[in-house]
């Protein structure tokens, strides 16, 4: 793939202790914290924004 992007970001709901399968997958794939406790308009939940370098 000849994509120019060098980074990828994702958002996921904050979970106490990061204790669910999604968080374990993201950490295993090398995603790190960019922003924690972010609130999107219209959703009362806190989210984490995670990122990592490409390719996965």
Question: Looking at the annotation, which residues are catalytic?
Answer: 26
Burial grade of 50 (CB within 10 A; 0-12, 13-18, 19 or more): buried
Helix (H) or strand (E) run with residue 24 in it? helix 21-28
């Amino acid at each position: 793939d000849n994509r120019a992007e060098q980074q990828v970001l994702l958002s996921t709901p904050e979970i106490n202790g990061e204790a669910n399968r999604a968080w374990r997958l993201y950490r295993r794939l090398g995603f790190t914290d960019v922003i924690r406790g972010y609130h999107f308009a219209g959703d009362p939940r806190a989210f984490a924004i995670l990122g990592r370098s490409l390719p996965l």
